[in-house]
Amino acid sequence: MRELKVNLKDHSYKIYIENGILNNLSKYIKEVYNNDKIFIITDDIVEKLYLNKVINSLKNDYVVDYVVIPHGEASKTLEKYAYICEELLKKEIRRNNLIIALGGGVIGDLSGFVASSLFRGIPYVGIPTSLLAQMDSSIGGKTGIDFYGRKNILGAFKQPSMVLIDPETIKSLDNREFNNGMGELIKHGAIGNKELLDSLYSKPEIDENIIYESLKVKRHVVEIDEFDLNERMTLNFGHTFGHAIELKYGYKHGEAVAIGMLMAIKMGIDLGVTDPSCYKPILDILKLYNLPTEEYNYKDYLKDVLYDKKNIAGTVRFIFLTKLGECVIYKMTEKEIGKLI
Ligand code: GLY
C-alpha cells in the first residue's frame, strides 16, 4: 500500500493506492465518513465490472444506493447532471451523506460537479478505475461538464474527501485505454520526476509504486497552485498542441498528449529553452508503450493555439521542458507567436 497526502489550506485529503482496495473500502472510508448512507455514481460498464464488489465491501458499515448513467464523454451534459441530482433527491440523499464517484474521468468530473453543487456542496470520495483518471482527473478537484460545445466549461473546484486507487482495475482496460493513461503518466515523469521516467524504460508493471511516483508530481503542483493560476499549468505540457490535434485526427486524449509533447519539445528546442537531448528519450519511451509518435510540425498548429483557452489576454503560456524531469512556463505574446508562423 502507498499513501499520499494532498496538503491544501482548507481541505487536505489522502490518496491510498493498494492492490485489491476495492474489497476493503470501509476501512479507509471510515477515516472520513461515519454517517449511514453512501450514494455511488457510476456508468453502465463500470457497474458490470465493479459495482457489486464495491457494494459488498461497504454494506456491513453503510446503507448503499447507486445511480448509473451511460458511459462516455456524451454523458458529461447538463441533462445527465440533472438526472443524477434528481435520482439522488428521489433516493432522499441528505447533505451529510457521502457520494462515491466510481469510474473513469467522465464519472469523476460529473460526480464531483454534483457534489460541488447539490446542497451547495456535499462530500465525495473518488474511486477512479481508469489509468487516465487515476493519473490525472481524480486528483486536484477539477470537476465539470461540457456545455455550449465546450469541454468542462461549467464546473467547480471541489476537492474529494479521499481518493482510493486500486491498480488491479487497470487490468480490465483495453490497450488503447491503457495507453491513454500512459500518456499522462509519462508526462508526469517528463515534467517532474526523472527517476520515474528512467524506471519506465524497463517496461515495469504499472503498480502501486509507479502510480505513487507519478501522482507525487501532480500532488506537488496542486498543493502550490490549487486553482490553476500558475504552477499547475505545467500539467498542460503536451496539451497545448495535443488539444489542437485530438479532435481533428480522432486521437484519445493521452495519445494526443504524447504527440503534443514531441511538438512542444521541438518548439522548445527551436526557441533555445529545451535541451535538444530531451527529444530522443521521450520518443523512445512513447514508442515503448505503443503511443503514437507521428510527426506534426508545431508551426502548422500555432494558429489553433492562439484560439485555445490557454490564450489569456493575448498571451499564451507554453510549457517547455528545460531538461528531462524539469519544465518551465514560457509566456509568448500573439505577436511573438505570429513571427513563428
Ligand atoms: N489536468 C490538469 C489539472 O488537473 O490541472
pLDDT 10s digits, 139-161:
999 999 999 988 899 999 999 99
**140 CB within 6 A, ligand 1:** yes
Residue 87: predicted pLDDT: 98
Is the entire prediction scored with pTM above 0.75?
Answer: yes
Q: What is the mean pLDDT of residues 202-226?
A: 96
The maximal CA–CA distance of the chain, rounded, in angstroms, is 65
**228 CB within 6 A, ligand 1:** yes
**235 CB within 6 A, ligand 1:** yes
- Which residue in this structure is represented by grid cell 508526462? 187
- Which residue in this structure is represented by grid cell 462530500? 123
Q: What is the mean pLDDT of residues 236-240?
A: 95
Going from N- to C-terminal start, the domains of the chain cover 2-169, 175-340
**Is residue 236 pLDDT above 80, yes or no?**
yes
CA distance 42 to 240: 30
**Is residue 293 pLDDT above 70, yes or no?**
yes
* pLDDT, tens digit, 9 for 90 and up, residues 71-82: 999 999 999 999
Q: Candidates 132, 225, 232, 233: which one to mutate for ligand 1, based on the most atoms within 8 Å of Cβ?
A: 232
**142 CB within 6 A, ligand 1:** yes
**DSSP characters for 268-293?**
HHHTT-S-GGGHHHHHHHHHHTT---
- Which residue in this structure is represented by grid cell 448503499? 64
End-to-end CA distance of the chain: 49
**Is residue 10 pLDDT above 90, yes or no?**
no
Residue 285 CB-half CA count within 13 A: 27
* pLDDT, tens digit, 9 for 90 and up, residues 294-339: 999 999 999 888 876 566 677 899 999 999 999 999 999 988 998 8
**Is residue 133 pLDDT above 70, yes or no?**
yes
Which helix (H) or strand (E) segment holds residue 102: the answer is strand 98-103
Residue 216: predicted pLDDT: 98
**170 CB within 6 A, ligand 1:** no
Those residues whose C-beta lies under 8 Å from the C-beta of residue 155, and which sit 6 or more positions away, are 109, 113, 116, 142, 143, 144, 145
Q: Candidates 6, 106, 137: which one to mutate for ligand 1, based on the most atoms within 8 Å of Cβ?
A: 137
**Quick one: cell of 23?**
474489497
253 CA distance to ligand 1 centroid (A)?
13
Residue 310: predicted pLDDT: 61
Angle between helices 279-288 and 175-192 (to 10 degrees): 160
CATH 3.40.50.1110 for domain 175-340: no
Residue of minimum CA distance from atom 3 in ligand 1: 235
235 CA distance to ligand 1 centroid (A)?
6
Ligand 1 atom closest to Cα of residue 232 = 5
CATH fold, domain 2-169, is Rossmann fold (3.40.50)
Q: What is the mean pLDDT of residues 109-131?
A: 98
**Quick one: cell of 277?**
537531448
Task: Judge whether 39 and 97 are in contact, CB under 8 Å.
Answer: yes
Task: Judge whether 144 and 154 are in contact, CB under 8 Å.
Answer: yes
* pLDDT, tens digit, 9 for 90 and up, residues 22-59: 999 999 999 999 999 999 999 999 999 999 999 999 99
Residue 189: predicted pLDDT: 98
Share of the chain above pLDDT 70, in %: 98
Ligand 1 atom closest to Cα of residue 140 = 4
Residue 303: predicted pLDDT: 87
Average pLDDT over the chain reads: 95
